[in-house]
Homo-oligomer: A and B are copies of this chain.
Amino acid sequence: MEHSFIAWAKQRVSKLSQPEVGIGDDAAVLRASNRSRVVTTDSLCEGSHFLLAECGPRAVGRKLAGVNLSDLAAMAATPTDMFVSACLTKLAKKAKSSGDDDLSPSRIAVEIFEGIVEYAEKYGVSISGGDTNLWDGPLVVSMTVIGEAPEGGCWLRSGAKPGDHVVVTGELGGSILGRHLNVEPRIELANLLRQEFNVHAATDISDGLGVDLLSLFTASRCGAEIELGKIPISDAARKLAVSSGRLAVDHALGDGEDFELLLAIPESEMQRLPPELADVRLTSIGRFVSRTGLWQRDGGKVRQLAPKGYVHGTSS
């Protein structure tokens, strides 16, 4: 299968931007650049990150591209090249999402690729190489994305300072209802912010707001104090709360796969930050503080908060 797929893929990417040497040799060659290169890699496994029979292979390709691009957005980098690896089940599968058609391994490979091409076109990225394998296991896809650092350097997790605002983009929680398959990496927003504002630190929200905030302030050797009432809650989180019996804010704090940005922005910059940028809401939900740990402020009271959510009984 691999040789005919490579020939097809090479043709398919010919309208995208091109590296010096792309698909079809032992390795790709990327043109020299005087910028630092930024590199991330992420895999998705059938049954853990997606249900192939429910979502279809094209959505797998979209999610793979989206989650990887989101990591580069969190560095304020500009993606240039994608590399894709797919381990495909030998046997054809039934696809619920596209009638009752059987999906052969090569059909699955093509559909995954088409999902990736959608993101490559949207963000002006080359698909520069990859690898396909047939095996007996379920579907696994991996991607490495390479980008260029912005002028002045990348955002890191380690730069937050006590007093900085804890800022989140968009609305959080309930991504399992669909948004986790339609990731909107905040590339454009990050580039605008990087050019116009002094952002001290950033990460993307992949494991959940609480857990990712913990990662960020731990890397910055400080803590954070947030107000639960300020967290922007998505409609999906509210909808999910009805069936889960948990609070919507709990989903916004604890659910993963939002792929929004979490930023540390100094007070002076907050004054001139608009409420929206590139059509994405920017919300301050609290402050980084010198005391380590995650805290919630509720009126005059401050209490410790579990990063994974489950805020029942602690919010009053």
Contacts and interface: CB of A to CB of B under 8 A. Distances in A.
A131 interface: yes
5 contacts: A25-B219, A32-B35, A39-B144, A45-B137, A131-B142
Interface in A148-189: 149, 154, 156-158
A4 interface: no
Contacts of A21: 154, 156
B136 A29 contact: no
Max chain B C-beta neighbours (<10 A), residue from A37, A46, A84: A37
Interface in A114-147: 128-131, 133-138, 140, 142, 144, 146-147
A298 to B, nearest CB: 28
A47 B24 CA distance: 26
A137 B140 contact: yes
Interface of A: 20-21, 24-43, 45-49, 71-72, 74-75, 77, 81, 83-87, 128-131, 133-138, 140, 142, 144, 146-147, 149, 154, 156-158, 202-204, 219
Contact of A46 (B33, B41, B137, B144): B137
Q: Is the interface of A mostly helix, strand, loop or mixed?
A: strand
> What 9 A-B pairs have minimum CB-CB distances, sorted nearest first?
A27-B40, A144-B144, A26-B74, A45-B135, A142-B142, A30-B37, A26-B71, A137-B137, A41-B83
A25 B135 CA distance: 32
A43 B156 contact: no
A29 B137 contact: no
Contact of A48 (B27, B129, B133, B204): B133
Nearest to A6: B215
Contacts of A85: 41-43, 142
Contacts of A202: 26
B32 A157 contact: no
Contacts of A87: 43, 45, 140
A66 to B, nearest CB: 14
A117 to B, nearest CB: 18
A41 B135 contact: no
